[in-house]
Amino acid sequence: MMGICFLIVGLLFTTITKLVTTGIGIWGNNQPVAWAFDIVNFVWWIGIGHAGTLISAILFLFRQEWRTSINRFAEAMTIFAVMCAGLYPLLHLGRPWLFYWLFPYPNVMQTWPQFRSPLMWDVFAVSTYFTISVLFWYTGLLPDLASLRDRAKSRIAQVITGVAALGWRGSARHWQRYDIIYLLLAGLSTPLVLSVHSIVSLDFAVAQLPGWHTTIFPPYFVAGAVYSGFAMVLTFMIPVRAFFGFKDFVTQRHLDAMSKVMLATGLIVLYGYAMEAFVGLVYSGNPNEYFQMHNRMFGPYGWSYWMLITCNGIIPQLLWLKRVRLNPVLLWFITIVINIGMWLERFVIIVISLHRDFVPSSWGMYFPTKWDFGMFIGTMGFFGFMMCLFIRFIPMFAGFELRELLHKKKSHSH
Amino acid sequence: MNETSFQPESDVGMTLSEARAQLAKARGRNYWRSLEQLASRGNFQAMLKREMPRQATDVEVSDWDPIDRRDFIRLMGASLALAGLTACTKQHEEKIVPYVKAPEELIPGRPQFYATAFVHDGYAQGVLAESHMGRPTKIEGNPEHPRV
Amino acid sequence: MAQIFHPTANAVARLSIVIVGLVVIGGLVTLDQLTRAPYGTEVGVAREQPVPFSHKHHSNMGIDCRYCHTSVEDSSFAGIPPTKTCMNCHSMIFADQTILEPVRESWKTGESLQWNRVHDLPQFVYFNHSIHVAKGIGCSTCHGRVDEMPLTRKENTLYMGWCLDCHRAPENFVRPKDKVFDMAWTPPANQAEVGKELLKEYKVDTAHYRMLDCYLCHR
């Protein structure tokens, strides 16, 4: 598994090397479809990352105890997904080594970034999100790293885990501070769950393009992000659970609860699609909006819209049935379908909206090249590779939290 | 060891000076009109390749082939790291090469326009040519030419 | 079980927070300063030339800039004189100096002299000398006192920020047209008012969308 992933990481590096030495002309996007696979994948990956933050932060604040056995896993996924996501806009810059131009710093050009552009806000939103996610994940890891250190056999392992554990001794004072910090970070991450994808959606919503210029985008994007994030967690969790025999940690109840979250967010997303169609075809009375929506459904890319509706709207309705929610194989299949659907959603929004401009003379089609696919598959491999490394080297479950939970449960039952 | 082995350049391609010498020898109808035409002569192409190697082709032709996994990853890593370094390079030095005797009415940096003609199907076609220091950059029909 | 770390490890850990911070900040400041120092800007660094030509010597004899830089009023490029211009005088004056050998060599063989460019704008910048001269920007504003330079060097960074200094406030730099080639000109005390008057007279549109349009220089 890791070997396969590593091969795909090689593909990613090949693609990036080719991209850096040749330029982004190797991608299929060109006027009028200036944003294509790169931004589709960026939004997709960022969305996937959302489950981690939601599980660790919001569910923590709501004292949803079932989160305990999946939070570490989901947080790791968040970090790796954001890494994959960040790669795309970075490389789409064309000259990625000049990425620091995105940050406001006193420079010899005496220019500042364009603060009125949502793309600029995105830089801050995503980098803040990544930083907080890493801190949150790492803070949660500390006690487990310390127990790894205490159990380490070799000197090298002791030193490495010891440095990583930052001198954690598990004293009462440590625990008290830990609780405060964890709560604070959870509080910090909570608005991030909403802000990051809202701002990503503003990348589109601020532009005056039919299909993009709509106020429904922020909530609809956030719901979609959580939807795809939970789907991705399950896509990874179900095989890992079966393979390592973690049925006692990730119980039926977890699958059930996560399915319900997916169902709820999926319905929000479906409402979003319905609203877009209603506004475009009926309510706006704007010929451009009407044409855009009509073209989305019956234009040259119509297949992707109907596939999207099938994947994201129809098939997940099976989750209403408890039998489906408790059937890991079927559930796994549905999560894959949702992942595809959410990818298609971004494709529909970005490519279809762009390829028919206001002026028919500037209409065009978008065809991804092999490098587009190389990059996309490559990041999936990178994600898988990092997940494999994570499963191999880092405690997959928050050991101490599970023990704490068990302890509480026992004392309650008395 | 015989004489022929003393030609290390010949199988890699001609040198730039050889190319120059060949051009100097050319007389009459032997002129070349475009670089492509020049390139099709002898092993000029091989020389060009060596003068301006692209990373990709260089990897293919050099001793790196066949690339093993470690070399591959090393190359990938190095190229990514070096891509970062390009931001730190300075502009390379540039030469200014003025005329020895400047042509009359030529202002460097501004184009000159000529009403001229070329032969097409045995007839002169009047054209206007834009020239930048002797390099034609645009040719268009001359509406005031008597043949029009 | 033996301790893994010596107690001093705590101090090291705490110190490392400060040190990493200092290294990062120090590194960034160093990079920034290097970019602004002559190391990055090459301001004041005289380039080696095939002939050690002295602007000071020639202009002190009263030769006008335009005797050699003929196209400065007409073209984007100020013009580097052909060997012929040198030989106008040096076929008679200092005709046997070894220092001038490359010039005579060029004249004899017809091969151009190859000067090293001192003021080198990147290829993606469009700059036009003639418009600046026509609107009252003098040579010395950008090139400094070239008439006092034995060997030619850059007086200014030619960074974009430096261009914008003037494009944001041209009234501080504009001068009467008859003073454009006056190397000794310095702004008068009331430059702020005079400058505004001159801009009006030269019909310079100082609107931001003109003077600061990206497309003005990045065409």
In tens, the pLDDT along A51-75 reads 778 877 888 887 777 777 778 888 8
Touching A (3+ Cβ pairs <8 A), the chains are B, C
Residue C130 has pLDDT above 90, yes or no: yes
Query: Is C185 in the same domain as C108?
Result: no
Residue C94's domain comprises 82-114
Q: Does the pLDDT value for residue A281 go beyond 70? A: yes
At a CB cut-off of 8 Å and minimum separation 6, what does A404 contact?
Answer: none
- Residue A297: what pLDDT? 93
Q: Are C4 and A160 in contact (CB under 8 A)?
A: no
Residue C137 confidence (pLDDT) above 90? yes
Determine, yes or no, domain membership for C71: yes
Same domain, C182 and C207: yes
Per-residue pLDDT at A253:
83
Backbone angles phi, psi at B129, to 5 degrees: -115, 135
The pLDDT of residue B8: 42
Average pLDDT, integer, range A345-352: 92
| Confidence tier at B31 by pLDDT (50, 70, 90) | low
Q: Helices marked H in A54-117 — which ranges?
A: 59-61, 68-92
Contacting residues of B for A98, CB less than 8 Å apart? 87
- Considering the domain architecture, whether residues C25 and C69 belong to the same structural domain is answered as no
More confident position, C3 or C75: C75
Indicate if the pLDDT at residue A19 is higher than 50: yes
Please say if the pLDDT value at position A290 is more than 50: yes
Half-sphere exposure of C99 (CA within 13 A, CB side): 8
* Of the candidate ranges A245-249, B3-7, B22-26, the one whose mean pLDDT is the lowest: B3-7
Rounded Cα–Cα distance for residues B43 and A146 (Å): 67
Indicate if C75 and C88 belong to the same structural domain: no
Question: A158 — contact with chain B (CB < 8 Å)?
Answer: no
Q: Is the pLDDT of residue C201 over 50?
A: yes
Residue among C4, C161, C162 minimizing CB distance to A159:
C4
Chain A hits for B80, Cβ within 8 Å: 13, 16-17, 20
The bridge status of strand C115-116 relative to strand B135-141 is: unpaired
Whether C115 and chain B come into contact, CB under 8 Å, resolves to yes
pLDDT band at B56 (very low <50, low <70, confident <90, very high): very low
- Looking at A21-25, A297-301, C98-102, C174-178, which range is the least confident one? A21-25
Partners of B56 on chain A (C-beta within 8 Å) are 21
For residue B6, the model assigns a pLDDT of: 40
Question: Which pairing describes strands B135-141 and B123-132: parallel, antiparallel, or unpaired?
Answer: antiparallel
Q: DSSP code of B132?
A: E
Token pair recorded at residue A7:
């091969």
Q: Is the pLDDT of residue B58 over 60?
A: no
| C20 located within any domain | yes
Let me know whether C154 and C186 are in one domain.
yes
- Chain B contact set for C47 (CB, 8 A): 93
Q: Is residue C3 part of a domain?
A: no
Residue A154 burial (10 A CB sphere; 0-12, 13-18, 19+): exposed
- Structure confidence at residue B29 as a pLDDT band (50, 70, 90): low
Neighbours of B65 (CB within 10 A): 9
pLDDT of C1 above 70: no
pLDDT greater than 60 at residue B3: no
Q: Please indicate, yes or no, whether residues C21 and C89 belong to a single structural domain of this protein.
A: no
The minimal CB distance from B97 to the residues C75, C84, C112 is found for C112
Q: Are residues C182 and C76 in the same domain?
A: yes
The whole-number pLDDT of residue B60 equals 45
What is the spatial distance between Cα A14 and Cα A8, in angstroms, rounded to a whole number?
Answer: 10
Please name the residues between 140 and 199 in chain C that touch chain B, using a CB distance below 8 Å: none
Residues C28, C61 within the same domain: no
Q: What's the domain count of chain C?
A: 3
**Residue at C185 is within a domain:** yes
Mean pLDDT confidence for A177-194: 87
Mean pLDDT of C120-133: 92
* Subunit partners of chain B (3 or more CB pairs within 8 A): A, C
Structural domain contains residue C46: no
Q: Which of left, alpha, beta for A285 (phi over 0: left; psi -120 to 50: alpha)?
A: left
Same domain, C92 and C186: no
Amino acid at C5: F
List Cα–Cα distances, A86 to A379, C50, C63, in angstroms.
11, 50, 60
Assess whether C76 and C136 both reside in one domain. yes
**Could you tell me if residue C207 is inside a domain?**
yes
Give yes or no for residue B55 having a pLDDT over 60.
no
| Distance, CA of C76 to CA of B99 (rounded, Å) | 17
Contacts of A313 (CB under 8 A, 6+ apart): A266, A269, A270, A273, A341
> B5-11 long-range CB contacts below 8 Å, 24 or more apart?
B10/B43
Mean pLDDT of C157-181: 93
Q: Is residue C21 part of a domain?
A: yes
Q: Is residue C43 domain-resident?
A: no
How open is the CA angle C130-C131-C134, to the nearest 5 degrees? 85
Kindly identify which residue of chain A lies nearest to residue C36, measuring between CA atoms.
A108
Selected residue with higher pLDDT from A141 and B7: A141
Same domain, yes or no: C149 and C171: yes
Select from C72, C98, C114 the last residue of a domain. Answer: C114
ipTM above 0.85? no
On whether both C106 and C152 belong to a single domain, the answer is no
Q: Which residue has the higher pLDDT, C44 or B30?
A: C44
Q: Would the CB atoms of B80 and A20 count as touching at under 8 Å?
A: yes
